[in-house]
Structure 1
Amino acid sequence: MEDLVRTTPRDSRRPAPDLWRNRRVLVTGHTGFKGSWLCLLLSGLGANVSGFALPQEPGPTAFDLLGVADHLQQSQLGDLRDTSAVAAAVREANPEIVLHLAAQAVVGRGYRDPAGTFATNVTGTINLLEALRAQMDSLAAAVIVTSDKVYRNDGTGQAFRETDPLGGGDPYSASKAACEIAVASYAHSFAGALPPLATARAGNVIGGGDFGEDRLIPDLFRAERAGQPLLIRRPDATRPFQHVLDVLCGYLLLAEDLTLRSPETPRAVNFGPEDREMSVRDVLGTLGRVRGRPVEWRQADPQAVYAEAPRLAIDASLARQSLRWEPRLKGDAIFTETAAWYEAWLKGETLRGLSERAIERAITP
């Protein structure tokens, strides 16, 4: 796997172990795909990690396969919509840094349960901010993760910048845009009662251990395991695909600068690939090439497809300039590393060592 990693530019940054060592960190959404990798990453940096999240979804999970439980100080299960549960989790973790990833993050579920989506993504975030106000003495920083879908997508295909208008046509996107507004309001209204806050807006994140609903890579490997062709909603839709560990390192760099009270730290940051975006069709072609066998797929019934933007691109130049963030995996390497993880899973191989080596590569300068 070492040959998959492209060296980042000399002036780029990796997370600083000295800042994270023995630091109390609360990760919300720690049982999810990104949250699981984040806990492993923080543990590798020497942090004392606590988690708050819903119970795991049925079936295989990154949390189990990565052995995340062994890396936690405490793991608390609860719902963001439960004000008292959120407050109790913050009190018990007594965090110095909070990384808020918990969310209802599935576009299709947003259509099926719009009220629940808004309640989780907006009210749930407000519940967390209220809990942080009550715990202010110990706090240094909080990063609130939203989405690249927070922008008002006018269909022109422009790469969105942090200063572009927020919006959202579907319930998931709109709830994340509303979350951004809520965070900005709290940061403005209660600056003295909250730690420095920033939102992180990432493009489509892929990597081993994602078993989420309606997501391209998990759907592919589920289909192969079942011996069925993959069903694709929109093969020509484009998205900014990037590797999970690169994105998470960006979140940590943002949290570091907030903790150090750098006045230049942006309060909303895009994280996206240098090469902009790829179509779903091209992603499947790339996966076929790096694995040495084509992906069998066919287009889903158009009547069963919900509305989605045909193109989504974000400009991550602010993260590169202000945080000196740079993805370590680029081009085919993103898909090669991701496919290797799933191939090992399909073969029943032990994944913990494979994953911990990936963490070591991600944090090594």
Structure 2
Amino acid sequence: MNLDIYKNKKVFVTGHTGFKGSWLCLWLQELGAEVVGYSLPADELSHFNLLKLPMKSYFENINDQTMLTKAIKESKADIVFHLAAQALVRDSYDDPMTTYETNVLGSLKVYWASMQAGVQNLVSITTDKVYENREWQKGYKEEDTLGGYDPYSSSKACVELMTDSFRRSFLSDHKMRLATARAGNVIGGGDWAKDRLIPDLVRNASIGKVTPIRNPQSVRPWQHVLEPLHGYLMLGQKLLEGKTEFCTSFNFGPELEDVATVDKMCELAKNNWDKINAKFVEDTQKKHEAGLLKLDITKAKEVLNWKPMLDSLKATALTINWYKNYYQNQKISSGENLKDFMALS
């Protein structure tokens, strides 16, 4: 896993206080990068706060164009990783305005500020939910039709369309290389977001409660957080090397045969921590969520030479053991998880 190109590089990460953002900053610092973050303040209980990373942080709103541009200019970034987002499907129903403002306009402002600051490389993170979901058994490919039933999915599809327009309109000379990454359902230690399966299971297990579960037969491309981050870093590496053919979109997810139902993930979680208990209940809110979602990762494997390292069994074990260590021993095992993962190839 050779990512030496990041050593001594200046890297600007939006959304760095979030679950994936904090793991990305940890990895970048392990690689010897100088990392600057821009995000809203972290929740009191968060992976970011637990890590206590020695880095410069701007705790600001992504839609504050003046502050955002100032921060990116001051960072003198070699590359920007844009992860800041309103990332919860159910919250997008409750507050669609903020969802679109953050995800679409926020992304546009990051692109514009980066271009104005002279940044040459930008990796923008969207989601596996950008595709028009037809409940296909096959995985969605990067060229498949974009769409989105719920406001969150729709907003991220809008980001993909906006990115393509921005690239054609302003970056035809490749002064800034811009790529997008679409990742599946991510699990891993340090996520406490509401209405996410693993966080709900471990949070309730820690206080002896049963977790009510909606839609047990829903299928998702579950993967450990380090899997897509590895893909983001590999994609960023290609941009840093000046390879403009990578200014496109890439899916990052598990192998098609390794997708799992919600029911199966609950079973795997309980196998690693017997305090976990789930009860399947009727979804009274009836807010639409896709029942079947798979990603085709052929492009990332063949073009980027990326591949998933952990199957769902290993990914779940690594995740649940992180939480067990935290709740039972007050131990943060993120650094160990990262080093073990980096040693896989």
Tell me, yes or no, whether TM beats 0.5.
yes
Q: How far off is 1:194 after superposition?
A: 4.5
For 1:144-164, what per-residue CA distance to the aligned partner results, in whole angstroms no more than 9, with x for missing partners?
A: 000000000122333100000
Deviations 1:87-125 (A, max 9, x none): 122112121100000000000110000011000000000
Give the aligned partner of residue 138 of structure 2. Answer: 158
Aligned to 1:252: 233
Q: Kindly tell me: are residues 276 and 185 of structure 1, through their superposed partners in 2, closer, same or farther at Cα, counting changes over 3 Å?
A: farther
1:31 to 9, 13, 17: 17
Equivalents in 2 of 1:312, 1:176: separation in Å?
Answer: 16
Larger RCO (alpha carbons 8 Å, 6+ apart): 1
Q: Which runs of 5+ in 2 are unaligned?
A: none
Aligned to 1:4: none
TM-score, length-normalised on structure 2?
Answer: 0.95
Partner of 1:128: 110
Alignment of 1:1-365 (within 5 A): 14-17=1-4, 19-58=5-44, 60-68=45-53, 70=54, 72=55, 74-136=56-118, 139-191=119-171, 192=173, 194-265=175-246, 267-274=248-255, 275-291=257-273, 293=274, 295-351=276-332, 354-364=333-343, 365=345
Residue by residue over 1:166-200, the C-alpha shift from the partner in whole angstroms, topping out at 9 and shown as x without a partner, is: 00010000000000111111111111374110000
**1:9 aligned residue:** none
Cα gap change, 1:105 to 1:201, in 2 (>3 Å):
same
Q: SS at the partner of 2:206? A: helix
Shift of 1:213: 1.6
CA contact (8 A) 1:285 1:295 kept: no
1:187/1:194 contact within 8 Å kept: no
Is the 1:15–1:363 contact (alpha carbons within 8 Å) kept by the matching residues of 2? Answer: no
Over 3 Å counting, the alpha-carbon distance change for 1:295 and 1:348 in structure 2 is closer
d(CA) in 1 for partners of 2:133, 2:270: 31
Which residue number in structure 2 is paired with residue 3 of structure 1? Answer: none
Return the letter of the residue paired with 1:63: F
What's the % identity of the aligned pairs? 38
Amino acid of the residue matched to residue 29 of structure 1?
G
Residue-by-residue CA offset, 1:176-230 (whole Å, 9 max, x unaligned)? 0000111111111111374110000000010000111211000001111232110
Distance 1:116 1:331, change over 3 A: closer
Q: CA deviation at 1:141?
A: 1.1
Whether contact under 8 Å (1:276, 1:315) holds in the other structure is no
* Bigger shift: residues 191-200 or 312-321: 191-200
SS at match of 1:159: coil
Task: Give me the TM-score of the superposition, normalised by structure 1.
Answer: 0.90
Write out the 4+ residue segments of structure 1 that deviate beyond 6 Å after TM superposition: none
Q: SS at 1:160's partner residue?
A: coil
- Preserved contact between residue 141 and residue 196 of structure 1 (Cα < 8 Å): yes
Runs of 5+ consecutive residues of structure 1 not aligned to the other structure: 1-13
CA contact (8 A) 1:26 1:93 kept: yes
Aligned equivalents of 1:128, 1:270: Cα separation in 2? 21
Shift in Å, 1:266 = 5.4
- Aligned equivalents of 1:322, 1:262: Cα separation in 2: 12
Post-superposition CA distance 1:55-97 (Å, at most 9, x none): 1124x100022222x2x1x100111121112112211212110
Q: Deviation per CA, 1:23-54, whole angstroms, max 9, x where unpaired?
A: 00001000000000000000000000000001
- The number of equivalent residue pairs is 342
Structure 1 residue 282: Cα displacement = 0.5
1:143 and 1:78 map into 2 onto residues whose CA distance is 20
Q: Does the 8 Å CA contact 1:33/1:63 hold for their aligned counterparts?
A: yes
Distance 1:194 1:179, change over 3 A: farther
Aligned-residue Cα RMSD (Å) equals 1.5
1:297 CA drift (Å): 1.4
CA contact (8 A) 2:177 2:239 kept: yes
Verify the 8 A CA contact 2:174 2:244 in the aligned structure 1: no
Farther-moved stretch of structure 1 (254-263 vs 113-122): 254-263
